[in-house]
Structure 1
Amino acid sequence: MLKLVVQGFAVALFLHALLGVVFAADFNRLNIWPMPQSVSHGDQILYLSKTFELRTEGSKYLDPSGILKDGFSRLLNILQAAHVIDGNLPNFQQSVLLQGINVVISSPNDMLQYGIDESYKLSVPANGKPVYAHLEAQTVYGALHGLQTFSQLCHFNSTTRVLELHQVPWNIIDQPRFSYRGLLIDTSRHYQPLPMIKKVIDSMVYSKLNVLHWHIVDSQSFPLEIPSYPKLWNGAYSISERYTMADAAEIVSYAQRRGINVLAEIDVPGHALSWGTGYPALWPSKDCQQPLDVSNEFTFKVIDGILSDFSKIFKFKFIHLGGDEVDTSCWGLTPHVRSWLKKHGLNESEAYQYFVLRAQKIAISHGYDIINWEETFNNFGNKLSQRTVVHNWLGAGVAKRVVAAGLRCIVSNQDKWYLDHLDTMWPEFYMNEPLANITDLKQQKLVIGGEVCMWGEHIDGSDIEQTIWPRAAAAAERLWTPYDKLAKDPRKVTGRLAHFRCLLNQRGVAAAPLAGPGRVAPKEPGSCFTQ
């Protein structure tokens, strides 16, 4: 019965979009995604000058790394990608030409780290001599968000063949609701080539997500080079399906220049079968190969070596150590591990706790705070380091218990925010509330954000984009936009999200139609805006 109700809701949304929304000529609709904190606008039109330029008059930020300049170049590229801009602008009066954008950044520092100020203020006046848009931000990363919002205000007019700004003047004040707004990709179940990872990063920028959770390795494969233990990547599927440390550094740099942190994950002690391909001593035995051998000091030396190598590349505050779905029966079935357990007075459950806590200490020694999947909290939450962030995935109600215990939490409950669950449609992504049933303000602050998860069992380079988008964008607005500005009924944002999905298509992102489950194909000929 529930499935029929959900399917019926999808049909209703589809009909709503089909019958009630005509976007291409409707410039009165506020088509910004995610919705900013505060927006006001008028009803006039400006035309972008062919020499539209970046200015930084009054800015303390001198752009030593070229981050702002590159962001502006990307802005021009996405504005010009969909059409040939060949209109005859000199025929327009100078008073209606937008000459450029002046960006004023308060902080001279461009170090990207967790909790950085991502706020911005964007204004576009209706007239001036000359006319310039104005963007203010505390950091260059807030300015990058402002440029993304500006890009959504611009439209190509196929009659004049120029770029136009409608609804001028604009005044936008904006900042994120949550500091952690993540997307997980899984490169163990299927290898993702570097160009595709970069495409995912680019598409994250458009919806203002700011953490790429890279689930690098798992039981199936170990594709990453670890210089301290070079045989680990013997567990890769093939020689060509590997990442060098230089590749990893390139991904981190590429993301950082776009305001996105990369969260690296090694999942221990479970989900680690592939580790033993290169180092069989990590297996309890040849016949019982996971979880990792808790009784072997070599296991922890390898974890230390991995995290030492990671610390040179992955500069984000957090490291993800997994800790989920650990079946400890292998330890009890292996004679030498069983003997070790007896010697140390531990049962299998206590050994699981010992392993997780020891791995946490190793991560802390390398300067990291730790993220663990929720099983660690469910089993021994009061023993976890206070530097732990608990990653909820099994279901609702966990976040409330985590923050009541004084720990931080990230929400990814699988019934709502797992992208590989193709039957979970975008309205459910949109309505999933990280702070559900958490009323204490201090405890609310311990929920640092949320993450949608693109697990890779049935995902590779051929279908990852249309499985992520546009459902991830629905969650992105939940994580960015103030709670009181979020729609209480997802049908009220159908048109705006459909517009954003078409914008993703225009920018080369293979985002699927809204009408239907994840990765659905268009049902029939028609406008992008009605699918």
Structure 2
Amino acid sequence: MERKTWTFSVWFLLGFLGFVVFVDGVNLWPMPMSLSHGVQSLYLSKDFGLSMKGSAYKDPSNILKDGFLRVLEIVKAAHVVDGLVTGSNAVLQGLNVVVFSLDDELQFGIDESYKLSIPATGNPIYAHLEAHTVYGALHGLQTFSQLCHFNFTTRIIEVHLLPWIIVDQPRFSYRGLLIDTSRHYQPLPMIKNVIDAMTYTKLNVLHWHIVDTQSFPLEIPSYPKLWNGAYSLSERYTMADAVEIVQYAQRRGVNILAEIDVPGHAFSWGIGYPSLWPSVDCQQPLDVSNEFTFKVIDGILSDFSKVFKFKFVHLGGDEVNTSCWTTTPHVKKWLRKQGLNETQAYEYFVLRAQKIALAHGYEIVNWEETFNTFGDKLSPKTVVHNWLGGGVAQKAVAAGLRCIVSNQDKWYLDHLDATWQGFYMNEPLTNITDPKQQKLLIGGEVCTWGEHIDGSDLEQTIWPRAAAAAERLWTSFEKLAKDPRQATGRLDHFRCLLNQRGVAAAPLAGPGRVAPEGPGSCYQQ
């Protein structure tokens, strides 16, 4: 009882003072590649502004300006900043950003590095941010936002532990999060909320698993009856909606990886076009013997190419039960005529879909079953998406193919027994020691499969466990905590920061999607 009273009193006092203190004083997430700091503090000027003096990039689309304004809003955390700033020497007047590249096209492998320096003295005092691309600058802005704190006593934004020098860059180019809009429809505001939260953790790919067995919610202009497979008339996305999501994400440095999962997981396709089914009684996988099947895939990817500008498209290829092909008379006859057994027909389907995607300018991501079954036949432009077993990533890169890791025992967010500690300690490069092969492991992805997830529980299922994986994917291996207990304080702090920014991140204590056990400070849950 005495210990609880002491703890409450200390946390109450710290809350009254207006900030939270941890032992090392650094609560950045994900941890930067290198940093140094001092012990001084500055107020943020009420006229704190953005300057681009010396920058080659002129921000023609206002990507940087809008990112700066968003950061100012999240720094305020909806508080009224009405305190009086006194003493000009204690005021941080603004942020000067220098971006060296004129190009603001977002694509895989762009330079996302940045250098952030905030001096403690000067007249006037300005923070400085340098980056090769505007998207590196956006990451620097997010780091800056975590250095700012609202002081409840002075009612002014403060920056502590000055001077700061932070040099940072990502460990992996691909840092993904999957959402599933087939098992449950996700409204557009929820998808945008997820994208915003991704930027706070420096994740940079939203894998949009758009369609599956259960529903086909996306408009496909080339084949307009496909979205007859949506759950309802209101649970749909127009192509204009898709454009909006892509542009919203792009302005925040997030790519959209669109997926159509073929040939399996495709019952919903046949609601609008029943001829895509092998038969009315045996509806999936898609009919491999029907040329119309591949015309539809070509139409979808043609429409995709006008909207989804990321260099990759995901073609699925997982969990294909070929029994419909061998029990449906006309398909069985076609197989016999082509001299194919069901495994060979699966290979034929995947490779033909790959050729269609390549013709539309895409490189391909396929789930690992395709590699496990006929890996040597896949296009060299294939990325193997590991989700089932250990050792697959090692085999894929040894075969010269790129790979993404999403092993389900560690990085599936819908597995509510999977703890944040497991997310944090999951190492994508396990048993991959050859430097050339390590470069082929382009990153990883946490997956939010939607069977039990809709708009009511999406965010607390994702966060903060996805943030634990985000540090694994961003932070250099040398800077990662070797024991998750060493990262608990920082992640606790970041989880509370997410809450303050309006993100429904669940407590750290316990697995998955849990509620607080009882009354208490956010920082102790």
Q: TM-score, normalised by structure 2?
A: 0.96
Provide the rounded CA distance (Å) in 2 between the counterparts of 1:365 and 1:39. 45
Provide the rounded CA distance (Å) in 1 between the counterparts of 2:114 and 2:233. 45
- Where does 1:191-340 land on structure 2 (aligned, <5 Å)? 191-340=185-334
Distance change in 2, residues 1:319/1:20 (3 Å): farther
- Aligned residue pairs, count: 513
Name the aligned partner's letter for residue 237 of structure 1: Y
Query: Is 1:456 aligned with 2:463?
Result: no
Query: Is 1:346 aligned with 2:340?
Result: yes
Provide the rounded CA distance (Å) in 1 between the counterparts of 2:84 and 2:25. 27
Give the corresponding residue for 1:26.
Answer: 21
Provide the rounded CA distance (Å) in 1 between the counterparts of 2:153 and 2:230. 53
Provide the rounded CA distance (Å) in 2 between the counterparts of 1:303 and 1:167. 55
Give the superposition deviation at 1:322: 0.0
Give the superposition deviation at 1:474: 0.1
Give the corresponding residue for 2:3.
Answer: none
Give the superposition deviation at 1:82: 3.8
Give the corresponding residue for 1:525.
Answer: 519
Q: Which of 59, 66, 74 does residue 78 from structure 1 map onto?
A: 74
Distance change in 2, residues 1:19/1:435 (3 Å): farther
After superposition, the C-alpha distances for 1:376-419 in whole angstroms (9 at most, x for unaligned) are: 00000000000000000002211000001000000000000000
Q: Which of 93, 103, 123 does residue 97 from structure 2 map onto?
A: 103
RMSD: 1.3
Name the aligned partner's letter for residue 47 of structure 1: Y
Provide the rounded CA distance (Å) in 2 between the counterparts of 1:530 and 1:112. 39
Give the superposition deviation at 1:29: 1.8
Greater relative contact order structure (CA < 8 Å, 6+ sep) = 1
Give the corresponding residue for 1:65.
Answer: 61
Give the corresponding residue for 1:367.
Answer: 361
Stretches of 4+ aligned residues off by more than 6 angstroms: 17-23
Give the superposition deviation at 1:19: 12
Q: Which of 25, 35, 41 does residue 37 from structure 2 map onto?
A: 41
Q: Does 54-63 or 73-82 show the bigger shift? A: 73-82
- Where does 1:362-401 land on structure 2 (aligned, <5 Å)? 362-401=356-395
Give the corresponding residue for 1:13.
Answer: none
Give the superposition deviation at 1:455: 0.4
Provide the rounded CA distance (Å) in 2 between the counterparts of 1:29 and 1:476. 21
After superposition, the C-alpha distances for 1:464-504 in whole angstroms (9 at most, x for unaligned) are: 00000000000000000000100110001001000000000
Provide the rounded CA distance (Å) in 1 between the counterparts of 2:81 and 2:519. 27
Give the superposition deviation at 1:83: 1.7
SS in structure 2 of the partner of residue 42 of structure 1:
coil
Query: Is 1:477 aligned with 2:471?
Result: yes
Provide the rounded CA distance (Å) in 1 between the counterparts of 2:137 and 2:389. 36
After superposition, the C-alpha distances for 1:428-475 in whole angstroms (9 at most, x for unaligned) are: 000000000101000000000000000000000000000000000000
SS in structure 2 of the partner of residue 214 of structure 1:
strand
Provide the rounded CA distance (Å) in 2 between the counterparts of 1:67 and 1:298. 42
Identity %: 77
* Structure 2 unpaired stretches of 5+: 1-6
Give the superposition deviation at 1:81: 2.3
Name the aligned partner's letter for residue 373 of structure 1: W
Give the corresponding residue for 1:6.
Answer: none
Provide the rounded CA distance (Å) in 2 between the counterparts of 1:19 and 1:294. 68
* Structure 1 unpaired stretches of 5+: 1-16
Give the corresponding residue for 1:9.
Answer: none
- Where does 1:408-427 land on structure 2 (aligned, <5 Å)? 408-427=402-421
After superposition, the C-alpha distances for 1:169-194 in whole angstroms (9 at most, x for unaligned) are: 00000000000000000000000000
Q: TM-score, normalised by structure 1?
A: 0.95
Q: Is the 8 A contact 1:18 1:530 kept in 2?
A: no
SS in structure 2 of the partner of residue 415 of structure 1:
helix
SS in structure 2 of the partner of residue 156 of structure 1:
strand
Give the superposition deviation at 1:519: 1.1
SS in structure 1 of the partner of residue 45 of structure 2:
strand
